[in-house]
Structure 1
Amino acid sequence: MDLKSTTVRAAVGAVILLAAGIAGAAEPPSAGADLTFSSAYLWRGTPLNAEAVLWPDVWVSGYGFTATFWGSLELTDDLGRRGRFTEVDYTLEYARTAGPAGLTLGFIRCTFPNTDYEATSEVYGRAGLDLGLLEAAVTGYRDVEAYSGTYATAQVSRTFAALLLESSLSLSLGYGDAKHNEPYYGAPVSGFTDLTATLDLAWAPPGALGDYLTLTGSLGWSRILDDRLAAGGLYAEREHTWGGLGISVTHVGE
């Protein structure tokens, strides 16, 4: 067994053990599937694909744990891979709330079929606080396989109802160390990576159908902040906007 495999297995085990140590009463089991169209694929301020993609996913959740299988399907020939999946992710996380505070621990395995990119894995932790008018959260990610880099975000968001829609407006600030930024931005320097703003909308049909079905929409804007990262040579532009539409189906157990 090589060192990378050992590290990944240890990271998964650590997430499960930490979650089990604080596990308690939680919501009943549920499962669902989502299908989202996005005009572009932006990740940490970087355009992994500047043209349209389709994101299907399925998930199961119970007792605080959630397992998700997610993919990114190319819809254009921008990258020469129309109709092919170029990313498939597997995520396991545990979330717990206590009053206005919340804690999430997770592991994500990222694979990149039909590309030359190396698969990698990250562990992450998120601490959030409901402040009433706003919700605040800090999230840290640590690559435990390919790059050994660290990335973190600080986010504020507000959820509100408008015109029969459930809406969420969020603003996040990202920071990466040199090991994270070199492969993803092309510059081996630490610094603030991206500022990202998103507006998410959700509408559930009236009646019983609304218990299972939700239609979603989103608008987003992001900008690579650090001039050294923007000049890293991997991306022609530092600022991007995008939009998306989706449908979600959810079933909650007894």
Structure 2
Amino acid sequence: MKKRLVIMTIAACAAVAAQAADVSTYVDFASAYVFRGVTLNDGFVMQPGAEISGFPIDEAYGSLAIGIWANYDINDIGNGQEFSEVDYYLSYSLPVEVIDIGLTYTSYTYPGAGGGDSDREISLSFGKDIGTNGLAAAVSFNYGVGGAIENSLYIQGELGYETDLTESLSASAGVTVGYLVSDGGADGFNDATASVGLGYALNDNWSIGAGLTYIAQLDDEVLADSDYDVSLVASVGLSCDF
């Protein structure tokens, strides 16, 4: 029932999104689920999602996007195959030309075995292209306002690079560093990642991709050994924009 409900919700988002200018739906298959250094599933997972944007809002007031993302455990962790997490988010991009500024509210929900209260978070992000060669830098401040992450702050810096290899084939690479200010634990550098990816446009709407991400534990007093398990995640995905 829960699996059917999540799939119906994602499908409904895509249907409603047909009224908006931009719609993105996607599904990724990964060798594990790791979030901010913490291994939540060390086996195969499916991660579908949908985002609606391009609402009829004057550009002078910024832009709005809403989305849903889910994690489905393909292996038998948690007493069977199920959606262990479903996230809902609302994102607003400020109308600033010099730098990209975004404000996002995310609700992390856990419909799997045992359920549990949702975690809620507000994020403020800043991004900027460095020149015109595909290099970009960003930093985000993610503050927990409810659930287990309440009053905790996760700060992430990111440096990314994208380039077109051919008309249809693109490549990307990036690094991130995360710093945790915990309400109930140690503060410090939490994790770092290095990733590479390839994307191939099948046509104007459909594309496929593959990626490889390395996750490093920076401080075992901040990211405990019991939470840090998987250090390498491979993924493949399919997306459709319409």
Question: Please, what TM-score do these two structures have when normalized by structure 2?
Answer: 0.81
Tell whether 2:233 aligns with 1:242.
yes
5 Å-filtered alignment, 1:129-148, equals 129-132=128-131, 133=133, 134-146=135-147, 147-148=150-151
Corresponding residue of 1:107: 105
What amino acid is aligned across from residue 227 of structure 1 in structure 2?
A: D
Corresponding residue of 2:212: 219
> Would you say the 8 A contact 2:198–2:210 is kept in 1?
yes
Number of equivalences? 210
Corresponding residue of 2:71: 72
> Would you say the 8 A contact 2:137–2:160 is kept in 1?
yes
| Alignment counterpart, residue 181 of structure 2, candidates 157, 177, 182 | 177
CA distance in 2: counterparts of 1:93 and 1:236, whole angstroms? 29
CA distance in 2: counterparts of 1:150 and 1:165, whole angstroms? 37
Question: Please, what TM-score do these two structures have when normalized by structure 1?
Answer: 0.77
Q: What's the CA shift for 1:200? A: 2.6
Q: What's the CA shift for 1:233? A: 5.1
Corresponding residue of 1:127: 126
Tell whether 2:52 aligns with 1:60.
yes
CA distance in 1: counterparts of 2:214 and 2:228, whole angstroms? 16
CA distance in 1: counterparts of 2:103 and 2:126, whole angstroms? 9
Q: What's the CA shift for 1:89? A: 0.4
> Would you say the 8 A contact 1:100–1:131 is kept in 2?
no
Unaligned runs of 5+ in 2: 1-19, 56-62
CA distance in 2: counterparts of 1:65 and 1:99, whole angstroms? 16
CA distance in 2: counterparts of 1:233 and 1:217, whole angstroms? 28
Tell whether 2:36 aligns with 1:44.
yes
> Percent identity, aligned pairs only?
25
Corresponding residue of 1:197: 194
Tell whether 2:172 aligns with 1:168.
yes
Corresponding residue of 1:154: 157
Moved beyond 3 Å, runs of 4+: 96-100
> Would you say the 8 A contact 1:111–1:120 is kept in 2?
yes
SS in 1 for 2:53: strand
Corresponding residue of 2:13: none
Q: What's the CA shift for 1:30? A: 1.1
What amino acid is aligned across from residue 201 of structure 2 in structure 1?
A: A
CA distance in 1: counterparts of 2:93 and 2:86, whole angstroms? 22
What amino acid is aligned across from residue 141 of structure 2 in structure 1?
A: G
CA distance in 1: counterparts of 2:207 and 2:107, whole angstroms? 27
- Post-superposition Cα deviations, 1:33-54, rounded to whole Å, max 9, x if no partner, equal 1111011111001111111100
Corresponding residue of 1:23: none
Q: What's the CA shift for 1:148? A: 1.8
> Would you say the 8 A contact 1:65–1:94 is kept in 2?
yes
- Post-superposition Cα deviations, 1:119-171, rounded to whole Å, max 9, x if no partner, equal 11101011011112421101010110122211010111111122542122110
| Structure with the higher helix share, 1 or 2 | 1
CA distance in 2: counterparts of 1:240 and 1:118, whole angstroms? 28
